[in-house]
Amino acid sequence: MFVGQIPTAGGSGVWEWSDDRPDQFDSLNNITAAALSSNGQLLIQELTGPISSNPDNFPVFWHAELYLVNLDARGYRRRLVGLFDEIDGQAVVPPGTLNWFSSLQWAGEYRFVGEGAHLSPRPGEPIQRLGLFQGLIRNDTTVVELIDDLSDVDEWSVTEDGMVLLRSGLDLFLLPASGGQREAITTIPAAPGRTVLAARCDRGSCWVVSRGGQPNGAAWDVWNIDRPDGHPTLVRTFNPDVLGVPRLPPRSRHAIVQVGGIPYAIREILSVP
């Protein structure tokens, strides 16, 4: 069980962490969501279950917890929140209650944001999406609360200045990580068949990658949006070498596309010519 980082441009790993606790003879541990902060703190959602479990019975006999790992203190782990658990096929929290994170991101030194869900204890049932939650880590407790229901949101990410970017179709909004009202940033110009594939906001500008709206429907458009005035500018149109849904890592000029579990870099597309 380990977490690692590689450069967005490719190459050898620059950092990794592995769990050095003694192996358990009857259980498996899996990291199902993780986020690394700039000050060396690792947030992990750990799922634990029996080695002999029939995969068709998941998640019966499994449980999940959220941990904070301090990498500067030789991997000291602090249990923040108890998440999924079940007893005799019954969830320990009522239906519709948060007990799972589909993804996690840091939004400050002691604040994280995660897409929360409800994992049913009955095998084969879908995960119920609940919305976006913020977690505030204090000395003796961790407070988790809903900040947006994400009912109309296709994508979200944390910005460099601790806001949350929400994308709904062609529309972009900013939301305080502590909760509050959405602020509209911009709308990408509509065109026949145009859809947004990915978006990211830095301190002064945002980036959007879209597809469609051009004679060549497979081409990608890259937009740069000035955050103060919200004006979208088309900076390039190109045909990608790798087909897939891109991700836009923070502070990188490259996009990442994962195909068959392998990440590929599409270089230098997030820059103004």
- Sheet containing 63-70: give its strands across: 27-36, 41-50, 63-70, 76-82
Each as own residue / partner, the long-range contacts of residues 212-215 (CB below 8 Å, 24 or more positions apart, any chain) are: 213/189
**Is residue 159 in some structural domain?**
no
**Is residue 60 in some structural domain?**
yes
**Is residue 260 in some structural domain?**
no
Residue 200 contacts residue 160 (beta carbons within 8 Å): no
pLDDT for 144: 97
**Is residue 87 in some structural domain?**
yes
**Is residue 99 in some structural domain?**
yes
Q: How far apart are CA 273 and CA 268, in angstroms?
A: 10
Q: Provide the residue-wise pLDDT of the chain in tens; the chain has 273 residues.
A: 567 666 665 665 555 666 666 566 678 889 999 999 888 889 999 999 888 777 788 888 889 999 999 877 666 889 999 999 987 767 788 889 999 999 999 999 999 999 999 999 888 889 999 999 999 999 999 999 999 999 999 999 999 999 999 999 999 999 999 999 999 999 999 999 999 999 999 999 999 999 998 888 889 999 999 999 999 999 999 999 888 999 999 989 999 999 988 899 999 999 988
**Is residue 33 in some structural domain?**
yes
DSSP secondary structure, 179-214, as one string: ----EEEEEPPP-TT-EEEEEEE-SSEEEEEEE-SS
pLDDT for 1: 56
Residue 171 contacts residue 189 (beta carbons within 8 Å): no
SS3 content of the chain, % helix, strand, coil (to 5): 0, 50, 45
Q: What angle do CA 13, 43, 125 make, to 5 degrees?
A: 105
**Is residue 89 in some structural domain?**
yes
Q: Which of 12, 104, 39 is nearest to 67 (CA)?
A: 104
Count of structural domains, the chain: 1
* Strand positions, DSSP E, 71-158: 76-82, 86-87, 90-91, 100-106, 111-118, 128-137, 142-148, 155-158
**Is residue 251 in some structural domain?**
no
Domain that holds residue 19: 1-151
Q: How far apart are CA 116 and CA 271, in angstroms?
A: 33
Residue partners of 210: CB distance under 8 A and separation at least 6:
170, 188, 194, 195, 196, 197, 220, 221, 223
Residue 98 contacts residue 117 (beta carbons within 8 Å): yes
